[in-house]
A and B are shown apart, each in its own frame.
Chain A
Amino acid sequence: MSTTTLPEAPGTTGRAARPPLTSAIGPWLLPSLAALIIFGLMIALRPLVASPTGLTLVLAPLIPLVFAVLAQMFVIAAGDIDLGIGSFIGLANVVIAVVLPANAAGGILFLVGMVLAYAAMGVLIAVRGLPSIVVTLGMSFVWLGVAILILPTPGGTVSEGIVGFVRFNTPVVPGVIIVLTLVTAIVAVFLHRSKYGAVLRGSGSNPEGVRRAGWSVIRAKVGLYVLAAIFGLLSGLYLSGQTGGGDPYIAQSYVLLSIAGVIVGGGTFRGGEVSVVGAVAGGLVVGLLGSLLQFIGVQSSFQAAAQGLVLVLVLVLRAVAHWIRKARRTL
């Protein structure tokens, strides 16, 4: 048997052969560009948007959506899809508006219980190998039902403290920008630069492999679902503070918007393939799109189609970028 070594294929050994540029172009680039372009267009159409007040007005309502997108991102990173996040946020909103003011300890316990329930849902999905789409769809009815039992029709009053916290602002930099940047940075560093972040992503991509490397896959799944629940609660908190009251149906639209946000943000449903910066940018894109269409003056009836169209456009661009990258690799 020959012991000759494999002939070195040029360009594959030694120093990192790939041009650093390609590795720098992550999946987050396209959504970030899209968000910037939309923002630029909005400023061009209404210069007022660029002022601190304008920024706050435009961005503040997006914060709960961005949190919802991040929550969805953790679930998608686990290789699952969460169709219940909207109702979950609605329940959080109701608890914060109704239970918390009446009984602070009880309210906090309730919120903690919600996080635990999400963790349990993750365990159920992981241990029994259930399809997340349907489990979370079923649970969405449960969250909604509980919220309606607590608050049969919208109402309640959110405490001043929470309202103040959510409306936090500084004279120089709008508070919303501080919050967005901070949260994005923390989550991105955790998920993309920490070792446990890699384990979490790995467990979404190939749970068996991660288990064999000596990690608990169940714990990773629970971790991802707990993170999703926490960001769901944060989203509910911001919604509560911004609206001042409770409404079980408040976040129903977040289900599809958050999924769209993650996908536009460069995530895939294959598990483990998500980008935090991309997801935040994706959330901004799907959130700002409505405002942009409104500024341009698209008729109300056409807005749904226009949003769908832009979504398609972003994904087409991504597909094209993907092809180009692949073509370049095979050269």
Chain B
Amino acid sequence: MTTLDPTPTVSADKPAPRATAMSVLRHPAVPAFIGMLAIWLAIGAIAGRGLVETISAGIIIATFLVIVGIGQLFVITVGNGGIDLSVSYVMTLSAFLACQIMAGQDVNIAAGILIAVGAGAAAGVCSAVLIELIGMPPLVGTLAVGFALQTITLVYSGSVVGVASPALSQFTTAQIGPIPIFGVVGIAIAVAFALILKRTSYGRRIEAVGQRPVAASYAGTRPALIRASAYVISGAMAGLAGVLLAAYSGGPSLGLGTSYQLASIAVVVLGGSLIAGGRGIVSGLWAGAVLLTLLTTLANITRLSGGWQFIIQGALIVLVLALSRNPIARR
């Protein structure tokens, strides 16, 4: 997979070397990886133990964020102020739906996952209709869908409660030696979506529409359709994350998705993608998710008070942004 170097390096005279050490270092995902490593090592240094287990636990837990984040990344990358505020509500509703279908039985795993992903995709379709057909700003359209989902969840969760299938629960936490299976699956998902974004014609369209929708339209794509598809993907991914998270914690709960609403946006940006759209960096998102996941742990083991934890988290986000280089686009 080759990702584009965003800096306008002028090399009209000499042929550009494709991937020199310098251009690798300039890749927008690099700060996230460096940050991730720094925080991981800091935890190890302060605690003085459990270096491998820390990252392995971090990667497992970050995977939920990676999955939601990928959906969010597609929506953000497709531009037009794209942002999906409904993901947290989708996650919670999907968790309830899937667990009801699974009802603690392993035979129902496929059905449960399908219903979760399907429900998420349906929510994405609703957002897409509001945004692309009616022309609502994404921020408002997805929030409206989110409110509706919240109500459905509240009403629906009163009547039925299911439990995740044990096998699926096992799957989210199993390890081979020190290697967490779920974490590896997360990496595989990230690689797959990175390929989709950079190496398929669909992914190119996503980035093109995010850069200049009109230009993309005159180059043979339908921006509205492409944008709509991003919301469907985001919904589906949130649904998937919802059922997996429910499996991880044994069953659904009402607050399950709440913390993912803003975190999913933060990891996209930490990973070097452009919030204005047009450039999505899935590898960076993955590192950003692990970074953010380990960050609270670092704060916790240093026994910082709640106030300081908030301050450091916020300052880190702003700092990463301020230090990262910025090509032309901005919001």
Contacts and interface: CB of A to CB of B under 8 A. Distances in A.
A–B contact, 8 Å CB criterion (strictly below): yes
Interface of A: 79-81, 83, 124, 128-135, 137-149, 152, 256, 259-260, 263, 268-269, 301-305, 307-309, 311-312, 315-316, 319, 322
Interface in B210-241: none
Given A141-B314, A146-B311, A308 B148 contact: yes
Contacts of B305: 148-149, 152
* A-B interface, 3 closest residue pairs, ranked by CB to CB distance from nearest: A141-B314, A308-B147, A145-B310
B314 A305 contact: no
Interface of B: 81, 83, 85, 130, 134-137, 139-141, 143-148, 150-152, 154-155, 262, 265-266, 269, 274-276, 305-318, 321-322, 326, 330-331
A149 B311 CA distance: 10
A304 B150 contact: yes
Given A269-B139, A311-B144, A128 B314 contact: no
A148 B255 CA distance: 23
A327 to B, nearest CB: 15
B317 A134 contact: yes
B134 A319 contact: yes
Contact of B330 (A130, A141, A144): A130
B137 A80 contact: no
Given A305-B150, A316-B134, A130 B262 contact: no
A130 B317 contact: no
A144 B313 CA distance: 11
A135 B269 CA distance: 10
Q: Interface on chain A toward B: helix, strand, loop, or mixed SS?
A: helix
Contacts of A311: 140, 143-144, 147
Contacts of B316: 138
Nearest to B331: A131
Contact of B155 (A80, A301, A309): A301
Contacts of B275: 131, 133-134
A316 B315 CA distance: 38
Given A131-B276, A141-B313, A142-B314, A148 B307 contact: yes
Given A138-B318, A309-B144, A145 B150 contact: no
In the complex, which of the residues A135, A304, A307 has the most CB atoms of chain B within 10 Å of its own CB atom? A304
A237 to B, nearest CB: 23
B322 A124 contact: yes
A129 B329 CA distance: 8
Contacts of B145: 308
B317 A138 contact: yes
B140 A260 contact: yes
A71 B141 CA distance: 22
A129 B325 CA distance: 10
A146 B140 CA distance: 29
A305 B326 contact: no
Nearest to B313: A141
A121 to B, nearest CB: 8
A128 B144 contact: no
A263 B137 contact: yes
Contacts of B147: 304-305, 307-309, 311
Nearest to A138: B317
A141 B143 contact: no
Contact of A80 (B139, B146, B150, B331): B331
B96 to A, nearest CB: 14
28 contacts: A79-B331, A128-B321, A128-B326, A130-B326, A130-B330, A133-B265, A134-B266, A135-B318, A135-B321, A137-B265, A138-B313, A138-B318, A141-B315, A145-B306, A145-B307, A148-B305, A148-B306, A148-B310, A149-B307, A152-B306, A152-B307, A259-B139, A268-B137, A304-B150, A305-B150, A311-B147, A319-B136, A322-B135
B314 A145 contact: yes
Nearest to B148: A305
B311 A137 contact: no
A131 B321 contact: yes
B278 to A, nearest CB: 12
